[in-house]
Structure 1
Amino acid sequence: MKRTLPLFPLNLVAFPYQNLNLHVFEPRYKELIYDCIQNQQSFAIPSYVKNKVEYGTEMEIREVTKEYSDGRYDIKTRGKRVIKVLDMENPYQNKKYAIGAIEEIPNKNNGDLILKEEIYEAVQEMYDLVEVDNRTLSMDFQVFDIAHQIGLSTETEYELIQLTEERQRQRYVLNHLKVLLPKLRDVQRSKELIQMNGHFRKYNPPQEF
């Protein structure tokens, strides 16, 4: 479906279903948020990656936690769906901000249970290796739920958001975790060796000597 949305480009990737708190201070975006509140309208955060605005996420304002006297806002938002910016007018008519023609990117929620279990085990090991206390992963997770927690760069997050099927996203993050975990294991071994330095240890000499 094609329609228009106010655009709030940021150098980050916001994912569907993600809660994102924003402090809005630039004049153009103060006006954008004011208009969205007044019109009960959502807006889009297209990711400003690779020096262009194209893919992003439609966001809804869940709560205005603070409105400042100078027009700044603290707001709580939540991602709704992935969008692609087809065209934009910047600034739009008599506004300070841009409005873009967007299309909604379809999402096929066709996750694979085996891949999901592999990701679950890998993420739990990652939590243990980086010593994240009291964090567990529920088995009803979707890839977008964990995408900010597994060490992806902004560029790889941007690639992830363009995948339209959950199974594709599962394979993508699992490949990433298979590269990440050996590095984390090496770091953990190095920490253990450093901690043992100076302690008396028993070594078994080679049998031939």
Structure 2
Amino acid sequence: MTNFISIFPLSVVVYPGEQLNLHVFEPRYKQLIMECIAENKPFGIPAVVEKKLMEYGTLVQIEKVEKIYDNKEMDIVTRGLSVFRVLEYVGDIPDKLYGGAIVNYPENNESGNARLLKEVLHGVRELHAILQVHKTFKKEDTRLTAYDLAHHAGLSLEEEYELLHLFFESQRLEYLKRHLHKVIPMMAEMEKLKERVKLNGHFRNLSADDL
């Protein structure tokens, strides 16, 4: 399916199913959001990476207007719907301050692999233990997806974007698995280094084993 959507470019990657809270303050996007609310229509968030408007983004639906300020700025709650690919950006729309895009929606295979999901989830929790952060997920472990875990795996914005345009769940999980296998040993070594630095200058009870 191909259609025209209003767009709100941001330096974030949004995944289908993800909740994204936004504070809307620019006049063009206040106009966009007010129209989306009035017409109950979604809008697109194409990713901006290194100040470049990218080819892929996510269609989102406004779920709730949390607050409207006196100056018409807004706090809104949105939810990711589906990944789109931009066919053409449209910068000027008559009577609109914002832009749009002609997009299509690549087929997205969501069938996962239970063993692979378990490995990735174990890796995410191992990473969190190293970093001493505590995260909980709102779903049961067996119902989690790569989209649920991606923002919790220590990916850079560029890596999050790469994952956005992988259209098989098994590919996304493999991507996260490879990333975690690379980053966990590095983070573990950094934690050891921090401990060694902390010990420097402290009184220590050392032995040369009677040599």
Q: TM-score, normalised by structure 1?
A: 0.92
Structure-1 residue corresponding to 2:28: 28
1:204 CA displacement? 4.8
Structure-1 residue corresponding to 2:47: 47
**Aligned to 1:196, which of 196, 199, 203?**
199
| Alignment check: 8 A CA contact 2:87 2:103 kept | yes
Q: Take 2:136 and 2:128, find their aligned partners in 1: how far apart are those partners?
A: 8
Q: TM-score, normalised by structure 2?
A: 0.91
**Aligned to 1:151, which of 154, 158, 174?**
154
Q: Take 2:136 and 2:126, find their aligned partners in 1: how far apart are those partners?
A: 10
| Alignment check: 8 A CA contact 1:124 1:136 kept | no
Q: Take 1:200 and 1:48, find their aligned partners in 2: how far apart are those partners?
A: 51
Whichever residue aligns with residue 72 of structure 2, its letter is G
Note closer, same or farther for the CA distance 1:142–1:74 as it changes in structure 2 (3 Å cut): same
- SS in structure 2 of the partner of residue 109 of structure 1: coil
Larger displacement relative to structure 2 (105-114 or 168-177): 105-114
Q: Take 1:153 and 1:130, find their aligned partners in 2: how far apart are those partners?
A: 16
- SS in structure 2 of the partner of residue 21 of structure 1: strand
Q: Determine whether 1:60 maps to 2:64.
A: no
Aligned-residue RMSD, C-alpha: 1.7
| Alignment check: 8 A CA contact 2:46 2:53 kept | no
Q: Determine whether 1:8 maps to 2:8.
A: yes
1:5 CA displacement? 1.1
Q: What residue ranges of structure 2 are gaps of 5+ in the alignment?
A: none
Q: Deviations over 1:85-135 (max 9, x none)?
A: 1113212122111121111122101211221111111111111100013x3
1:62-141 equivalence runs, <5 A: 62-133=63-134, 135-136=135-136, 138-139=140-141, 140-141=143-144
Q: Take 1:132 and 1:203, find their aligned partners in 2: how far apart are those partners?
A: 35
Equivalent pairs, count:
206
Structure-1 residue corresponding to 2:18: 18
